A and B are shown apart, each in its own frame.
Chain A
Amino acid sequence: MIVAVIAAAVLLTVAALLALVRVERGPSMLDRAVALDALTITLVGAIAVEAIWSRRTETIPILVALSMVGFVGSVTMARFAAKEPESEGAPHSREEVAAQARAADVPRGEQRGGPRGAETDDEGSTDR
């Protein structure tokens, strides 16, 4: 067991370092959000490896809490990502402009569904 635990710890450490490399390199906030997400899950894995080694159950609530809140960061960043200056990413392309025009063109009345239709189908209005 000790061999497996050490090997897993090494693999997880390398994975965490690689995620940190991506956090440092960017290039956009979204890339960093994704990498931080991966780092959180790797951390959950590392805590699990320690618990596997010592057969302890006291740290399991930490796993629950981390896995519940881990995704909040990247979702929040995704919501506000559009507020970055445009120059940070690739320039606007034909498809991108077409997509925005399409999203803006859909009249509210045509959207299917009940009271949530306006918020779920057309989130672009809040992103921009």
Chain B
Amino acid sequence: MSLHPRRRPVRLLRRLGSQWHALALLTIVWVLLWGDLTWANVLAGAAIASVVVIMFPLPAITMQGTVRPGRALVLVGRFVADLFVASFEVAWSAIKPGPTPHGAIVAVRLRNPEDAYLTITAVMSSLVPGSLVVEARRSTGVVYLHVLDIDAYGGPEAVRRDTLALEERVLRAFASDAVLARCGLAPEDAAAALDAARPGEGDAR
């Protein structure tokens, strides 16, 4: 320590630099909390975000992806639509008279077990296609989903198909071409051409 008196500040600065998206996110949350966009709020938010990032360090998320705005829009739009459908389905199955539905646990092996994509897919599939993540194994990339009404869903194969389709939308929105190729998905240009040739097929269930 005494041999490198200037090392600590440099390391802190580097950590701030490597986690700039966490900084930006926390600053945005702070500004939203106060409800108006002023210089004082932005500066205070940035200061508090720096303190949080330095005091509570998290391991950096390895995500060398790109964001494709068009694909991200497809992902979000489909997510909102699915959220509506799934919510009304669950509410209806709760209210309708008769026997309550019959649940099951389905194992789905995702194509890409990297943390960031596994997390996004798991969170979104908890909210959307009538399923709930009970266990997830990072080592193998298998998620275990509880399905509320397996018979209405159409069996375990339908669950696997839908979850893999959701993962594909996530990967297409955020993953790099190399990752897409490794997961056996067509690269972005080819997929776009395919979509143009068969309108509506690319994102249908």
Contact = CB atoms under 8 A, between A and B. Distances in A.
A113 B115 contact: yes
Given A64-B33, A112-B113, A113-B115, A121 B139 contact: yes
B59 A114 contact: yes
A121 B138 contact: yes
Main secondary structure of the interface of B (DSSP, over half): loop
Interface residues of B, number: 8
A17 interface: no
A86 interface: no
Contacts of A96: none
B139 A106 contact: yes
B59 A112 contact: no
- Which of under 10, 10 to 19, 20 to 34, or 35 or more describes the interface residues of A? 10 to 19
A112 B138 contact: yes
A120 interface: yes
B137 interface: yes
Determine the main DSSP class of A at the interface with B: loop
A121 B136 CA distance: 8
A120 B139 CA distance: 11
Contacts of B115: 113
Contacts of B138: 111-113, 117, 120-121
Contacts of B59: 114-116
A88 interface: no
A100 B59 CA distance: 28
A84 interface: no
A110 B33 contact: no
Interface string B158-172: 000000000000000
A115 B61 CA distance: 11
Interface in A85-117: 106, 110-117
**7 closest A-B pairs (Cβ-Cβ)?**
A121-B138, A116-B59, A112-B139, A114-B59, A115-B59, A112-B138, A111-B139
Interface of A: 64, 106, 110-117, 120-121
